[in-house]
Structure formats: structure tokens, C-alpha cells
Amino acid sequence: MNHPQRPGIEVRRLSMAEIDQPFVSEWLALEARAIEPNAYMSPHFVLPALRHLRPATLPIFVAIYGNPGTGTRLLGLGIFTAEGPTRRFPLPHLRSYRCVHSYVTGPLIDPEAAESAVDALFDFVDKPGSPWHGLVFDNRNAEGPLAAALDAAASRRGITWVGLETFSQAILYPARIDDQYLDRVMSRKRQKKLQRAYRQLAETGAVSWHVIDGREVSAETVETFLELENSGWKKENGSSLRCRPAHEAFFTEMCTGFAQDGRALFTELRVDGRAIASTSNFLSGAAAFAFKLGWDPDFAKYAPGVLNEYLLVRHARERLGSLSYIDSGTDEGSFIEMLWADKTPITTGFYATSRLARILIPFWMRLRGLWRRFRRRPTASSRAAASGSDETAPGAVDREGPDA
């Protein structure tokens, strides 16, 4: 379905069934030049996720076409699910597509036509007769060129970003790593502990560290990773990729796509040629996005997973210096923060695009704040528990419920 908007701009709403190979080629080209790279918006990620992880609702592809120079081309692509009222937004809205393995969301936007493309996205959401009243983004970069473009387009409409949650995510800039980098991040005591673990590991066999990237990533590389990730506590609690066949199929297809495009990157820590730790990472534009890691629990006392990441930092400038940054995809408090010095803010929130939403949201936000404060009030049972009283009944109901 086509939605003419501004002169020279055409917005097309596409379904999954309309995503053919010519469109995928345009999508890949847009991803490569986007103002903000995002492997989680790559067709190599999104299409396997939709095929294997089966979302409850198939997303809407909002494709923005224009003619910034010679010939019509794809200038922007947003992928959204149509949502009814939720605790995060009280009216029907579009929410950025995110599967269980997506760590960063946001549209892909052509740098040569960022203003026109983002304006067209807002036009699409807020066109006459639109059933939607807002755009919701989960885990979007709070700073950078994409945030600036979205905020500027919103400002031109007299609206602002409403942030509901923000956290800091570890990020690594290979070009900033020098001989003193680890000294600035880690205490001498912690460094010595890791160095001692490395020496002790070396007593068990020949230790080596490897980067496997591009077309060197093979089915064997992927299988090794899956086996290591399916070890220890992840296997025991059923959360590994291999424990869930659909998730393994998604990962395998995703790796194949990125590898064929020269954009998969694995690191391995080996002893006598046998991998005992592995990380999976995927490239988009000039950035890399860390995905998952695994390690052999038989070597747990040597902290192989941490050693693998430690060696990545030590060799990043030499081996990965062409990358502008590596996105960790982690939450606050991850162990990676003891190795990576920098952080970037990640935010969840919305733009209220309709007049009704802009009228309603201030009242809804106040009610939301009151409700959250009410939920945090100590109950009689929680006060008793805090004081050590035996008045708290066994199996007392948790009154807090899920986060709003």
C-alpha cells in the first residue's frame, strides 16, 4: 500500500509477504549507509527471527522512498508492530519491532535524506484517519545521529520524546585503546587475577586466541559456539539457543546470512586447538554488535569467558581497528563493564503524535507516577519482613506485580 506524502517522497506499507529479494537488496544497501548502524535491523537478523521465532503479530514494514540524487531509492525503513493501549502508551500505537534477541531498536535512515525520511515516517503515523496515536521505541540509542533526527522531526511538529526508562550500556571503541587502557578500567589486583588465570590455563595446554570473521566463519564455527553456549547453567535452566530448536534455527540462519555477506565475527579461546570459549558478533556499517557468548564449564576455574573478552580488549586495536565501535548489548551491571571503559545511554519511551495523545499523555503520566509510588509503599507484611517479625505469613502474596 502506497502513502504519498511530501513532494518526491513515497511511503509504502509492506507486509512480510511482500518482502521479496529485490527489496532485501535495497534494505541491505540502506543498512550499509544508514546514519546509525544496527545489526538488529538487518534483513540477516529480522527475517530469520520472523521465520523461526513466530511473533504473535507480524510487523508492518514502513518503507520510505525518494529521489535525493539520481533515481528513486530506499531512504528509510521502520519495522513496527501495531499495538493497542498498553501500560507504556494508553492509546493504539506503533511499537518498534523487537524479538527476544534484539538489543537495540530504531529505523534505518539514509544520511543524505535524513530530514525528509524521518518527517515522512511521522507523516505516515499521523496521517488523517490514522488508527495510531504514537511511536514507541524500546531500547533505542538516547544519543547520536538517529536520536537527533527523530527528535528534530518531532520538534518540527511541536512534540518531544517522552523517556520512560534509561540505562547505560557498555561500548568499546577500538581506536581509543592504548597501552594504559586496561589500567584505567581495571584495578591492578583484578588484572593480576586474570593474568594468573591465564598462566594456570597455559599449564594445561597451548593457549591461543582467534578471530574468525567474514567468510572464514563456517558451519563448524557456528556449531562450536552452539555447543559452548549450551553448557553449564544455560543448559540446566533451558535458556540456551540449542535448548530451544526454533532459536537454534534462527541463530544458524542468521549466522549464514551475515557470514555470506562477510559480516559475522567470532572470537575463540582455545587450549591445544580446542575452543573453550566463544563469542558471536555481527557487523552493520562500521560497527559490530556483540550477540552471545559461551564457555566450557570444565574450565570454569580459569574464567574462560572473561579471559576471552579480556583478550579481545588487548587485541582490539590491532585486530578490529577498522570498527568505529562494538556495542555490548548488555544491561547495566554486566561483567563486561570491568573491561570496557565507555558507556552509551539506551532509552525506552515514545512520541505522542496525535492531538488526542498530546492532550491525554500529561494526565496519564501523572496517574502513572502516582500508581508507581503507590505500589512502592511498604505493606504491613513487607514492614514486618524488614523488621524481622514472624508476623509475615509463609507464602504471602507479593503485592508489587509486574513493572509498569
Do residues 206 and 198 lie in contact, with contact meaning Cβ atoms separated by under 8 Å?
no
> pLDDT band for position 378 (50/70/90)?
low
**Amino acid identity of 209?**
W
Q: Which fold has domain 2-166+346-353?
A: Aminopeptidase (3.40.630)
Q: Rounded to an integer, what distance in angstroms lies between the CA atom of residue 263 and that of residue 39? A: 10
pLDDT on residue 68: 65
Highest mean pLDDT among 52-56, 158-162, 380-384: 158-162
Q: Delimit the CATH 3.40.630.30 region(s) of the chain.
A: 2-166+346-353, 174-323
Average pLDDT, the chain: 91
Give the global pTM. Answer: 0.89
CATH class assigned to 174-323: alpha beta
Q: Rounded to an integer, what distance in angstroms lies between the CA atom of residue 164 and that of residue 162? A: 6
In which region does residue 205 sit, left (phi positive, over 0), alpha (psi from -120 to 50) or beta (all else)? Answer: left
pLDDT on residue 8: 83
**Amino acid identity of 128?**
P
Do residues 336 and 330 lie in contact, with contact meaning Cβ atoms separated by under 8 Å?
yes
- List pLDDT tens digits, range 313-362: 999 999 999 999 999 999 999 999 999 999 999 999 999 999 999 999 99
- List pLDDT tens digits, range 194-250: 999 999 999 999 999 999 999 999 999 999 999 999 998 899 999 999 999 999 999
